[in-house]
Amino acid sequence: MTNPLRLGVAGLGVVGTGLIRLLQRRHAEWAARAGRDIAVAAYSARRRGDRGLDLGGALYYASPAELAASGSIDIFVELIGGAEGIAFDAVKAALSRGISVVTANKAMLAAHGFELATLAERSGAQLCFEAAVGGGIPVIKTLRESLAGNAIQRVSGIFNGTCNYILSRMETERLPFDVCLREAQALGYAEADPAFDIGGFDTAHKLAIVASLAFGAKVDTGAVSVEGIEQITLADLSAADELGFRIKLLGVAERTPHGVEQRVHPTMVARSAPLAQTMGVLNAVSIDGDAIGELTLVGPGAGGDATASAVAGDIVDIARGIRLAPFGRPAASLVDADRVPMQRHEGGYYVRLAVVDRPGAMGAIAARMGERLISLEAIMQKRAGKEAAAAGVVPVVLMTHGTTESSIREALALTVEDGVVRERPQVIRIEREAL
């Protein structure tokens, strides 16, 4: 009889305990699918103890790196987190000894994905990370395996449940950003320091990983332009609604004439699009391939069970003997990621302005747009609230047809210089399909 496949699980937090509970509940199915028994042989966490789990005779290691190098495991499952330090050292220790690794650690893959893939290839180990992007949604497998026959044009998605929760609550409950952020924190969705989520950086990590799989480039977060959702107001959400859009924090990786663009920013998405209909903490990823057309996957982007489901799928794949290059092609063939400046981005724009309430102001704005060959698709003048009226300004919303980022930024800077616009104009990019 085949010996059981021995797991070494480092990290018994939300995902680690979720994984062990899932293994206990579905032990027989895992074994049937893998063709052999699967057991936790060893574990590591800061604190020793079973956390109410049945860890059987699993050995405890205070050091994850020692667990990885112990020789008593077949797969090292890294569920600690963090780009550097403990997790990274332990994963390198496992891979360099030919021990396969399953990880949910997007921060580590975003920082060291290429190096780790190279190490895995050299030692013949597998490096699997389905849980690192989109939690339980099988986006990595879909790009790496199922869509391997396609030329991918674009991947766009809602990769951060906290931001999607905040924007959904703001829109449906008409609550300001700060209130929704505090709610997300109270519910345990947002980190105590939420800057990483709301600033768009978590989305950027996941996008860089996805872009590598989709476009054959090395993972490079430096190639991602990032803007967060901190500046989105209820006025923007209302205007979006009137224009037939929703505002979502999207990560978009897309082939353009200037190279593969990677960008994270609040985006106007047509209400009819699947991404716009993804509300609350859910994540969604739309993939545009030449043969498949557009495909959207929607599901839970976090949580113990959902993330453990993705980790489990990787473990069973390795147990079955499936061998794949971590990023879908040999590491040596991965090219440097393009770094396309945001100024070159082309698309439609939503602009909200505080226009000085005097004759000729709108004409001056239209003239500046015209000079940069920007054509307007819609203009909405909103009723001035008390504050705006007291400040002598009128809120105006513009929607442009396709133009470049540099053109719209230059035109808006000139309207401020001309003295016809007060405050910093709010600019939100519009999703291409919606134009």
Question: Which residue lies nearer to ligand NAP by CB, 11 or 395?
Answer: 11
CB of 97 to ligand NAP, least distance (A): 19
CA distance 103 to 393: 53
- Residues ≥6 apart with Cβ < 8 Å to 107: 81, 82, 83, 205
CB of 404 to ligand NAP, least distance (A): 36
Question: Which residue lies nearer to ligand NAP by CB, 79 or 393?
Answer: 79
CA distance 18 to 15: 5
CA distance 245 to 269: 5
Question: Which residue lies nearer to ligand NAP by CB, 82 or 363?
Answer: 82
CB count within 10 Å of CB 325 equals 17
Contact 107, 82 (CB under 8 A): yes
Sheet holding 38-44, edge to edge: 59-61, 38-44, 5-10, 75-78, 100-103, 127-128
Residues that bind ligand NAP (CB under 6 A): 11-16, 44-47, 64, 79-81, 86, 104-106, 131, 135, 302-303, 307
CA distance 158 to 298: 9
Measure Cα distances from 26 to 14, 39, 53, 78 in Å. Answer: 18, 12, 14, 20
CB of 334 to ligand NAP, least distance (A): 23
- By Cβ distance, which residue is nearest to ligand NAP? 13
Question: Would you name the residues annotated as active-site residues?
Answer: 206
CA 295 to chain centre: 17
348: left (phi over 0), alpha (psi -120 to 50) or beta: beta
Place of tokens 């990274």: 88
Within 13 Å and on the Cβ side, how many CA atoms surround 113?
32
- To the nearest 5 percent, what fractions of the chain are helix, strand and coil? 40, 25, 35
For residue 13, list its beta bridge partners: none
For residue 284, list its beta bridge partners: 158, 298
CB of 77 to ligand NAP, least distance (A): 10
